[in-house]
Amino acid sequence: MLRAGLGRRSRCCGGLWRSPCPAAASGSARALSAASASPSPGSGGGARSGDAPPAGASNVKPLDGVKILDLTRILAGPFATMNLGDLGAEVIKVERPGAGDDTRAWGPPFAGTESVYFLSVNRNKKSIAINMKDSKGVKLIKELAAASDVFVENFVPGKLAEMGLGYEDIKKIAPHIVYCSITGYGQTGPVVQRGGYDSIAAAVSGLMHITGHEDGEPVRAGVAMTDLATGLYTYGAIMAGLLQRYKTGKGLHIDCNLLSTQVACLTHVAANYLNCKIEAKRWGTAHGSIVPYQAFKTKDGYIVVGAGNDHQFVTVCKILNLPEVSKDSRYKTNTLRVQNRKELIDILSTRFSEKATTEWLQLFEGHGVPYGPINNMQQVFSDPQRTT
């Protein structure tokens, strides 16, 4: 959600790019050091300078010259700012003196002394430790904000305002700023003061309720999808905020939160309830509205097959050498297949169990039906398609 700010355009704010303001040239600002996370291959070597890129430069990235002051920690915020850094923005990550970002201690595994978790979402950044409970630290944050285009934070609502670093405070010294707040539950409502972690937001939003085996317990997704989705919403909102500032000359306040993000990502599950009062359930790897669309056990592993239309279903039956199934009146349309799910899945499962995964992959190749194996990490990172 975007809330338009009322601040006037700064004189040194010429469009998407801004030159450094004098306040950033203080000795404290020179304490910036490269973050422990190294740039990924092909990332262009990390952060950029604050000057507008030269016109026509062939190696210019979309966000070259954009400065981001990053006060976030854990996952959603760092993931968003890392993606902005990948596009060329200069990201200055502010951490607590001593301990730093909480995820620096999340391990094992560690790469040397560094948490692999921390490294996974903090490439292309510079790092500075600032004690924001000290007036000198607050002053330095304001100096950095005045020289930045974007200010990103994920404190509990009201916490930064108590320090004099809330949106209204920063807007006074940096009316051009795109100020983004990431929280667990937003800026208003009865539970806004609660901290927000991915698992809790996944539970409250209903994601855990619909994740897991059909007759099993609720399950957490294998990665923090609520945090990651919030990071992507944040990333897109900041890009839109920069574009809006380019058009209007005004800064703005962006409000992103885990709960709203995950509820939005319920998509058709939420629509089923809101429009038809159909309570959601867990389907394992299957889909409530499409059959077949799930994992099938083979002789030595699993294959996932999705028949999104009737033609694809006929093709699946042909590959499985089950022509009589495609002609069966109970399975002629997707609606009928959903209604007769159990009988059909039993037939398909029996056939899939007769061959090894690689044999089925070869048989499905080139027939226009979406399919694929369930890979472990070694298989993922040795897949020639991924390395192409």
Catalytic residues: 227
Is residue 292 reached through a cis peptide bond, with omega within 30 degrees of 0 on the bond before it? Answer: yes
Question: CA torsion sign, 321 to 325 to 331 to 333?
Answer: positive
Q: What residue type is assigned to position 127 of the chain?
A: S
Distance CA 146, CA 356 (A): 61
What are the tokens at 297?
């056990």
Burial tier of 57 (Cβ tally within 10 Å: 0-12, 13-18, 19+): exposed
Please give the radius of gyration of the chain, using alpha carbons only, rounded to the nearest integer: 25
From first CA to last CA, the distance across the chain in angstroms is 37
What are the tokens at 370?
């979406």
Angle between helices 225-248 and 76-86 (to 10 degrees): 50
Task: Kindly state the helix (H) or strand (E) to which residue 30 belongs, with its residue range.
Answer: none
